[in-house]
Amino acid sequence: DSRRAGSLPPPSPPAAVSQVTVRDALNQALDEELERDERVFLLGEEVAQYDGAYKISRGLWKKYGDKRVIDTPISEMGFAGIAVGAAMAGLRPVCEFMTFNFSMQAIDQVINSAAKTCYMSAGSIPVPIVFRGPNGAAAGVGAQHSQCFAAWYGHCPGLKVVSPWSSEDAKGLLKAAIRDDNPVVMLESELLYSVPFEMSEQAQSKEFVVPIGKAKIEKPGTHVTLVAHSRPVGHCMEAAAVLSKEGVECEVINLRTIRPMDIETVEASVAKTNHLVTVEGGWPQFGVGAEICARIMEGPAFNYLDAPAVRVTGADVPMPYAKILEDNCLPQVKDIVFAVKKTLNI
């Protein structure tokens, strides 16, 4: 009889890991935070009755109604202003831009109203707002819709700026952003929305958050440090797999947060690998990679570098429309492999 004293309990099942798309992870985060805190509401173009331009807010209008999920006119300056005012009055708005290129219409609200108010009021007026939506290049949408704003918003004190890659990043960072008392800019990638990633049971729990300001080592390695954010993290992982077959072990760091930047994780990695390559889809001048290189040069990790740091970036041109030109404008796996071999002199 298996129930006799001393018999072993049955082995516990392995922690459930399921495949979840970035879209569903964001939807989960919004649903959980709308349910958890009645001050949270979502507004933007087509977020309600149409279920969101990218279906991120699917089902939320039916569940929470007109007061919590609000369709707005096509006026970023208007609805971003309403959202900032609501945040100053004690609500916690999530303001969706159909693409961050359109946030230019509302940059006065984001920078002059949201980012600076807490400081200018000596801390007495917090502005707990999230500006979210797709950032960077999509596919075949021309120069006006293909720009990365990580460096723009990362430049501004008063803002926190997050840039997720995986479904776990997307869910955890959005929940952390909604709960934060500061304005947070969340730069998502349209090309990642339908990509599935593994999510643990823990990551799917209602209390799971990813702390803002902490990078994640996606792959440990010993020969070279690769630092990226958003979609290029995936390219770095692919490049690392290619290089691994040639005996080069890359350490891949997923920044997750642009501001405040977790330079300590990068420094610790550079001290171990002695080489640094940064990868981003944005333009090179004054970019995220430029900032990482400057911080490494100014800090203790500089003495560990055995070769100059190398940046892999988007091309320094407005995005062309033609697919072959678009592909050549954005960092590809082969570009990362080439940069690593160059810095390692192989």
**With 90 as the cut, is the pLDDT of residue 79 above it?**
yes
Q: Are 188 and 194 in contact (CB under 8 A)?
A: no
Q: Is 145 a catalytic residue?
A: yes
276-279/310-312 β-pairing: parallel
**Contact, 179 vs 191, CB < 8 A?**
no
For residues 28, 33, 39 and 44, what is the CA-based torsion angle, rounded to 10 degrees? Answer: -30
Residue 13 has pLDDT above 80, yes or no: no
Predicted pLDDT of residue 16? 73
pLDDT, mean over the chain: 95
Query: Is the predicted pLDDT of residue 97 greater than 50, yes or no?
Result: yes
Taking residues 270-287, what's their average pLDDT? 98
pLDDT value at 6 more than 60: no
- What residues have CB less than 8 Å from 318, skipping those under 6 apart? 143
Tokens (6 digits) for 24: 């569903």
Q: How confident is the model at residue 23 (pLDDT cuts 50, 70, 90)?
A: very high
Q: State the Cα–Cα distance between residues 192 and 121, nearest whole angstrom.
A: 38
Q: pLDDT-derived band of residue 17, with 50, 70 and 90 as boundaries?
A: confident
The pairing of beta strand 257-259 with beta strand 160-162 = antiparallel
Residue 193 in tokens: 């929305």
pLDDT in tens, 210-266: 999 999 999 999 999 999 999 999 999 999 999 999 999 999 999 999 999 999 999
Q: How many CA atoms lie within 13 A of 11 on its CB side?
A: 3
The rounded distance, in Å, linking the Cα atoms of 278 and 235 is 12
Looking only at Cα atoms, what is the longest distance across the chain? 75
329: Cα separation from own chain's centroid: 21
In the sheet where 184-188 sits, what is the strand order? Answer: 69-71, 40-44, 92-96, 130-134, 184-188, 160-162, 257-259
d(CA 66, CA 77): 21
Spell out the residues 6+ positions from residue 69 whose beta carbon is closer than 8 angstroms to its own: 34, 41, 42, 43, 47, 48, 57, 60, 61
- Whether residue 260 has a cis bond before it, omega within 30° of 0: yes
* For residues 266-289, average pLDDT: 98
Enumerate residues 6+ apart whose C-beta is below 8 A from 33.
40, 94, 174, 175, 178, 179
Amino acid at 76: E
* Set 32, 33, 76, 291: catalytic member: 76
Residue 300 scores a pLDDT above 80: yes
Q: Is the pLDDT of residue 7 over 50?
A: yes
Q: For position 1, what pLDDT does the model report?
A: 45
Q: Which domains does the chain have, with CATH numbers?
A: 18-204 (3.40.50.970), 216-344 (3.40.50.920)
Position 163 scores a pLDDT of 98
Catalytic residue among 33, 145, 235, 291: 145
- Residue-wise pLDDT tens digits, 164-199: 999 999 999 999 999 999 999 999 999 999 999 999
pLDDT at 11 over 90: no
What local confidence, expressed as pLDDT, does residue 2 receive? Answer: 43
- Sequence-ordered alpha helix ranges (H) in the chain: 22-36, 60-64, 76-88, 107, 116-120, 150-154, 167-179, 232-244, 263-273, 288-298, 323-329, 333-344
* 32 annotated active-site: no
**What local confidence, expressed as pLDDT, does residue 5 receive?**
45
Percent of the chain topping pLDDT 70: 96
| Of the candidates 127, 111, 113, 159, the residue with the CA atom closest to the CA atom of residue 259 | 159
The average pLDDT across 121-147 equals 95
